[in-house]
């Protein structure tokens, strides 16, 4: 048995397979998120569509979703943040990043903030949007190649600690 593509380190048959095959429902929004990613790796468009909220399911472009799933090499998912989504919750937001290679073999990332919602006690993917990315600000000025090295050697940074960089 091979590990599940969702990154759980569990065998596929014990992890996402029961959800994708319809044998059990996702207990949490994260379980559904991981199963949807796995469905993309398997190009199981039926599960992707059925796990989409009934109120927004008509918005799915099945042909382009199938093409993206089939023509991509899926490299992994990194779930960055989860808000809500437990068995007791009704809504959830999950921020994640997916790494993949496109049809041309170019490495790509897909960064998304997904919204999940329960309907009749079952979790569904509702919608997605681009996450807000915070700008990084340095506390100290950037050290240039020709600046004196920070180690105190008296040499230029590029001839001292910056040599390996």
Per-residue pLDDT for 124 more than 80? yes
Average pLDDT value for the chain: 93
Whole-number Å distance between alpha carbons of 70 and 138 = 41
Query: Within a 10 A sphere around the Cβ of 96, how many other Cβ atoms?
Result: 21
Whole-number Å distance between alpha carbons of 115 and 91 = 7
Q: Are residues 122 and 66 in the same domain?
A: yes
Q: What is the pTM of this model?
A: 0.80
**Could you report the per-residue pLDDT of 137-160, keeping only the tens digit for each?**
778 777 787 888 878 888 888 888
Q: Counting beta carbons within 10 angstroms of the beta carbon of residue 37, is it exposed (0 to 12), middle (13 to 18) or buried (19 or more)? A: buried
- For residue 64, CA distances in Å to 45, 80, 115 come to 10, 26, 21
**Could you report the per-residue pLDDT of 36-53, keeping only the tens digit for each?**
999 999 999 999 999 999
Q: Are residues 115 and 94 in the same domain?
A: yes
**What DSSP string runs through 59-127?**
G--HHHHHHHHHH-EEEEEEEEEEEE-STT-SEEEEEEEEEEE-TTS-EEEEEEEEEEEEETTEEEEEE
Q: Are residues 37 and 79 in the same domain?
A: yes
Q: Are residues 60 and 123 in the same domain?
A: yes
Q: Are residues 90 and 160 in the same domain?
A: no
Pull the structure tokens for residue 79: 């779930």
Query: In this structure, what CATH number is given to the domain that contains residue 42?
Result: 3.10.450.50
> 93: which strand partners?
83, 115
Q: Are residues 91 and 53 in the same domain?
A: yes
Q: Are residues 122 and 72 in the same domain?
A: yes
Query: Is 49 part of any domain?
Result: yes
Q: Which domain holds residue 164?
A: 140-165
Q: What pLDDT is recorded for position 149?
A: 84
Q: Are residues 36 and 111 in the same domain?
A: yes
Q: Are residues 28 and 71 in the same domain?
A: yes
Pull the structure tokens for residue 97: 């990043």
- Domain count for the chain, please give it: 2
Q: Are residues 104 and 77 in the same domain?
A: yes
Q: Are residues 100 and 161 in the same domain?
A: no
Query: Is 3 part of any domain?
Result: no
Q: Which helix (DSSP H) or strand (DSSP E) does residue 42 occupy?
A: helix 29-42
Q: Sheet containing 91-101: which strands, arranged edge to edge? A: 73-84, 91-101, 107-119, 122-129
């Amino acid at each position: 048995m091979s590990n599940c593509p969702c990154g759980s380190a569990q065998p596929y048959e014990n992890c996402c397979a029961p959800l994708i095959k319809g044998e059990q429902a996702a207990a949490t929004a994260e379980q559904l998120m991981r199963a949807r990613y796995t469905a993309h790796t398997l190009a199981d468009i039926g599960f992707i569509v059925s796990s989409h909220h009934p109120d927004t399911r008509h918005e799915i472009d099945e042909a382009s979703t199938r093409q993206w799933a089939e023509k991509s090499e899926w490299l992994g998912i990194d779930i960055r943040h989860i808000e809500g989504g437990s068995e007791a919750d009704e809504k959830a937001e999950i921020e994640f990043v997916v790494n993949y290679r496109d049809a041309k073999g170019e490495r790509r990332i897909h960064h998304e903030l997904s919204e999940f919602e329960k309907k009749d006690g079952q979790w569904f993917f509702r919608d997605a949007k681009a996450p807000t990315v915070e700008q990084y600000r340095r506390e100290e000025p950037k050290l240039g190649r020709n600046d004196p090295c920070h180690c105190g050697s008296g040499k230029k940074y590029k001839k001292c600690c910056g040599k390996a960089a």
